[in-house]
Structures are given as C-alpha cells and as structure tokens.
C-alpha cells in the first residue's frame, strides 16, 4: 500500500461545482502539503500544514481551501471550480524530526488529475 494516498486519481467536473481532493498518509509525518502542476510551470505550492492546528497559504491559495482533519488527513477543496484549475494535484508529506536535510525530503502521493469543463 502507498504511504501517501490521494483520492480520486482522476476527476472531471463542471465549472461552478464544489470539489474535494483527499489525501491520507501512513508515514506518521506532521507536515503535509498540496501542490499543483501545470505543463511548463512546474509545481506550485497551494497550502501547507505543519501540524493539525497549523495551516498556511502557499504561492497560489486563491480559490482553494484546506482542512487538516487529523495528522494523517489533509483535504483540498475547490469551492467553485473554474477551468484554469485544471491541473495535476499532488499531496506531499515531510518529517523534520529527522534533521534539516533529511526532514526536507518530500514524499508525494500519486497525484489527482482534475479537469474542469
């Protein structure tokens, strides 16, 4: 079983719909992240959470919200999806307890391809 699991793997939706992408991890890491990847633009950080009570905006948080339901779960919501939110979304975790360099290693889920029509 994957250590970082994202659901769904693929989703097609219509403009204006509310969408939730879910992420769960079995690594026991405190830190969790949501990134989006667009062709030619690389990965960009949407939101990150250093523990259950700590949530921070990343580079491109507008139009998104998150919920850290537990250490193991971090969900991303699009309240009213729009076509330019079509992208590949990745959840990731990290564990700073292992030291600065080792702790900065990101473990990614397999991604969710979202298409907004």
Question: Which range in 11-19, 29-37, 61-69, 75-83 contacts other proteins by CB under 8 A?
Answer: 29-37
Binding mask 54-93 for other proteins (x = CB under 8 A): --x-x-----------------------------x-x---
Chosen residue from 21, 24, 33, 75 binding other proteins by CB under 8 A: 33
Alpha carbons 53 and 70: distance in angstroms, whole number: 9
User: Could you give phi then psi for residue 104, rounded to 5 degrees?
Assistant: -85, 0
10 is a contact residue toward other proteins (CB under 8 A): no
Q: How far, CA to CA in Å, does 71 sit from each of 10, 26, 29, 53?
A: 24, 10, 7, 10
Taking alpha carbons only, the member of 11, 1, 3, 24 closest to residue 116 is 11
Task: Output the smallest distance, CB 92 to other proteins, in A.
Answer: 8
For residue 59, list its beta bridge partners.
Answer: none
9 is a contact residue toward other proteins (CB under 8 A): no
Task: Output the smallest distance, CB 51 to other proteins, in A.
Answer: 13
100 is a contact residue toward other proteins (CB under 8 A): yes
| 109 burial type by CB count under 10 A (0-12 exposed, 13-18 middle, 19+ buried) | buried
Summarize as ranges the residues that interact with other proteins (CB under 8 A): 31, 33, 35, 40-45, 48, 56, 58, 88, 90, 94, 96, 100-101, 103-106, 108-111, 113
């Amino acid at each position: 079983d994957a250590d970082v699991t994202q659901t769904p793997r693929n989703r097609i939706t219509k403009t204006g719909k509310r969408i939730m992408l879910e992420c769960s991890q079995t690594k026991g890491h405190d830190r969790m992240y949501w990134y989006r990847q667009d062709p030619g633009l690389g990965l960009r950080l949407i939101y990150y959470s250093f523990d259950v009570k700590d949530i921070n905006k990343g580079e491109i948080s507008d139009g998104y919200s998150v919920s850290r339901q537990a250490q193991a779960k971090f969900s991303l919501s699009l309240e009213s999806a729009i076509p330019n939110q079509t992208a590949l979304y990745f959840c990731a975790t990290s564990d700073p307890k292992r030291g600065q360099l080792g702790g900065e290693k990101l473990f990614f889920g397999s991604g969710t391809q979202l298409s907004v029509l």
